[in-house]
Amino acid sequence: MAKPIPKVGSRRSGRSSARKSARRIPKGVIHVQASFNNTIVTVTDVRGRVISWSSAGTCGFKGTRRGTHMFSQKGK
Confidence of residue 44 (pLDDT cuts 50, 70, 90): very high
For residue 18, which phi and psi values (nearest 5 degrees)? Answer: -75, -30
Domain boundaries, the chain: 29-61
- In 3D space, the residue among 2, 57, 11 whose CA is nearest the CA of residue 35 turns out to be 57
For residue 57, pLDDT beyond 70:
yes
pLDDT at 29: 96
pLDDT at 69: 64
Higher-confidence position of 10 and 42: 42
- In 3D space, the residue among 58, 25, 27 whose CA is nearest the CA of residue 40 turns out to be 58
Answer yes or no: are the C-beta atoms of 44 and 31 closer than 8 Å.
yes
User: 30 has which bridge partners?
Assistant: 43
**Global model pTM greater than 0.75:** no
Confidence of residue 73 (pLDDT cuts 50, 70, 90): low
